């Protein structure tokens, strides 16, 4: 066994990537299995950075392997191929100095039982370091059916969508109003030597452009700030419930938007639903940390009879399950796993949820439908169809600060103003 520090982390990263890229596994689930094996948080951060970097820049790294290998690697070389991707990510996406990346990755090839291929790994990594990578269209990382859809639906914006989806997102924070102002938290970050920027249109947000561990954020454990993308923070603005309103968060886990609404108005009477009991527990944890009080039910929100006591809601948030095509930079493996059939069943689920939770909105109340998708079938077409079959629903306009006009709603595209892709539509129930 090698004594070079960091070899074990590279080996684990290669195993994770092999499972995700070649065997259809979820990145989150695979990371969940291996991260606990690394006691040092720096090793955990390194492993995550290698996996995310390799997945986000897969189009360029795959192009390099295709160009530089005389003979493609075989089916049995999955782990080695994954190790090469992690090596490329260290040199390129993470910008590690060669002395920190090369020999340890070559050593990892030996530790993976591939001593006969260690020379090849060394040669390829040196070439990458010397020559850089061939240019490749980031769209190549997207499955053809989705690429086609995005080109068709977003035309001139498509190239920017693919490009933004291949790069790491900034770290967006939501400052907890219950614990102080944004300016006060800005000053705490400044004291901790963490540079951040405010966005005038997002009253609770601060943006950090260089990677920082959340544990380094002042007061994080006590709920002074939370991680939440700018576009997700705009959902609270789109809903803007009246003080003390009765609010339903129909798909609440892990609880970012529920927490935000309660930080703005702790007097809200909020019911948080999620079909997944384990995920609903995460909402409980989120609110325990940030100081919010709510009721919880682990149920299918569409099964209204099972959970509704008959008292209508002033405001309903339906942050619906979706393809996550707006947050590929955060979940790069969604490009590898989702099929056209998944899209069809998500569209059916979204429309079932819309029809069901509409029943519990009081006349004069509002429903905000939101997704982190950029596909029109899940967004503007979904809401257009809902409005057509729902005579007592009227779309309320949202201003251009929410993104591009998209039928009855607005669409933020990934990377715009540093944000994730997000769709918002606000519907009023006529009395």
Q: How far apart are CA 392 and CA 15, in angstroms?
A: 53
Q: For residue 274, state whether it binds ligand SAM (rule: CB under 6 A).
A: yes
Q: Is 51 a catalytic residue?
A: no
163 to each of 168, 284, 361, 387, 416, how far by Cα in Å?
11, 36, 40, 34, 11
DSSP-assigned letters across all residues of 21-39: IIH---HHHHHHHHGGG--
Q: How far is the CB of 292 from ligand SAM (least distance, A)?
A: 12
Which residues in 285-324 contact ligand SAM (CB under 6 A)?
Answer: 300-302, 319, 321
Q: Please, which residue, 223 or 256, has the CB nearer to ligand SAM?
A: 256
Q: How far is the CB of 82 from ligand SAM (least distance, A)?
A: 29
Q: For residue 328, state whether it binds ligand SAM (rule: CB under 6 A).
A: no
Q: Rule CB under 6 A: choose which of 166, 262, 275, 427 binds ligand SAM.
A: 275
The structure tokens 């039928």 sit at 407
Q: Please, which residue, 312 or 321, has the CB nearer to ligand SAM?
A: 321
How many positions of this chain bind ligand SAM (CB under 6 A)?
19
Q: How far is the CB of 257 from ligand SAM (least distance, A)?
A: 4
Q: How far apart are CA 55 and CA 265, in angstroms?
A: 39
Residue pair 275/318 in contact (Cβ under 8 Å)? The answer is no
Q: Rule CB under 6 A: choose which of 131, 222, 276, 342 binds ligand SAM.
A: 276
Residue 393: strand pairing partners: 429
Q: How far is the CB of 249 from ligand SAM (least distance, A)?
A: 6
Q: What is the DSSP letter of 169?
A: P
Q: For residue 265, state whether it binds ligand SAM (rule: CB under 6 A).
A: no
Q: Please, which residue, 187 or 288, has the CB nearer to ligand SAM?
A: 288
Interacting residues of 169 by C-beta distance below 8 A, sequence separation 6+: 229, 329, 330, 418, 420
Which residues in 244-263 contact ligand SAM (CB under 6 A)?
Answer: 250-257
The structure tokens 């603005």 sit at 237
**Tokens standing for residue 122:** 């060394």
Q: Please, which residue, 129 or 281, has the CB nearer to ligand SAM?
A: 281
Find how far residue 253's CA is from the centre of its chain. 13
Q: How far is the CB of 101 from ligand SAM (least distance, A)?
A: 35
Q: Which helix (H) or strand (E) holds 394?
A: strand 393-396
Q: Which residues bind ligand SAM (CB under 6 A)?
A: 250-257, 273-276, 279, 300-302, 319, 321, 353
Q: Which residues are catalytic?
A: 372
């Amino acid at each position: 066994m090698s004594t070079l520090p960091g070899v074990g982390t590279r080996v684990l990263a290669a195993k994770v990537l092999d499972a995700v890229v070649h065997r259809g596994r979820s990145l989150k689930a695979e990371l969940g299995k291996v991260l606990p094996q690394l006691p040092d948080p720096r090793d955990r951060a390194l492993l995550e950075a290698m996996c995310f970097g390799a997945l986000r820049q897969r189009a360029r790294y795959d192009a390099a392997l295709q160009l530089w290998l005389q003979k493609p690697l075989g089916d049995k070389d999955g782990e080695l191929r994954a190790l090469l991707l992690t090596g490329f990510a260290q040199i390129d996406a993470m910008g590690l100095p060669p002395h920190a990346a090369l020999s340890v990755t070559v050593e990892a090839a030996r530790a993976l039982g591939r001593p006969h291929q260690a020379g090849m790994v060394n040669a390829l990594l040196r070439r990458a370091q010397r020559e850089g990578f061939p240019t490749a269209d980031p769209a190549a990382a997207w499955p053809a059916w989705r690429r086609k859809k995005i080109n068709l639906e977003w035309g001139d914006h498509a190239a920017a969508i693919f490009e933004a989806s291949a790069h790491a997102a900034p770290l967006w924070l939501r400052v907890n109003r219950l614990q102080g102002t944004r300016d006060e938290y800005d000053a705490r970050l400044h004291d901790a030597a963490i540079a951040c920027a405010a966005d005038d249109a997002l009253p609770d947000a601060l943006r950090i452009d260089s990677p920082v561990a959340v544990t380094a954020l002042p007061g994080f454990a006590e709920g002074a700030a939370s991680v939440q993308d700018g576009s997700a923070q705009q959902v609270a603005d789109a809903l803007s419930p009246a003080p003390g309103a009765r609010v339903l968060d129909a798909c609440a886990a892990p609880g970012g938007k529920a927490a935000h609404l309660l930080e703005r108005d702790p007097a809200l009477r909020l019911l948080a639903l999620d079909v997944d009991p384990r995920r609903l527990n995460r909402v409980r944890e989120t609110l325990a940390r940030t100081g919010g009080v709510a009721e919880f039910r682990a149920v299918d929100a569409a099964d209204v009879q099972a959970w509704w006591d008959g008292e209508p809601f002033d405001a309903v948030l339906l942050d619906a399950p979706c393809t996550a095509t707006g947050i590929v930079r955060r979940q790069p493996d969604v490009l590898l796993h989702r099929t056209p059939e998944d899209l069809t069943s998500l569209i059916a689920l979204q429309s079932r949820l819309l029809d069901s939770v509409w029943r519990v909105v009081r006349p004069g109340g509002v429903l905000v439908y939101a997704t982190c998708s950029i596909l029109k079938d899940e967004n503007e077409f979904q809401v257009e169809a809902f409005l057509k079959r729902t005579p007592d629903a009227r779309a309320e306009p949202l201003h251009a600060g929410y993104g591009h006009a998209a039928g009855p709603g607005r669409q933020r595209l990934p990377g715009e103003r540093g944000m994730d892709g997000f769709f918002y539509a606000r519907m009023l129930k006529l009395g």
